[in-house]
Amino acid sequence: MTATKREEVISHLRYIRLELREMHQMLIKDDLMPDLGEAKEVHAQLDALHELLSDKRKKK
């Protein structure tokens, strides 16, 4: 994996971890469900990460 791709993957994972941590805190502390838009945003980031990693496998 090139350094650029590695940095992209790291960036996606950091963002996803941060968003999931915030959602978890909402559930635990406030007993609130996350906003649907936030959940869709995390899902989009997971899709982007999957696509990034899938493209790498296809090129091999």
Written in H, E and C, the secondary structure of 1-60 is CCHHHHHHHHHHHHHHHHHHHHHHHHHHHHCCCCCHHHHHHHHHHHHHHHHHHHHHHHHC
Split the chain (60 residues) into runs of 10 and give each run's mean pLDDT: 84 89 86 84 89 67
pLDDT at 49: 87
pLDDT at 58: 54
Instruction: From 39, 41, 47, 11, select the one nearest 23 (Cα to Cα).
Output: 39
pTM of the model: 0.66
pLDDT at 59: 52
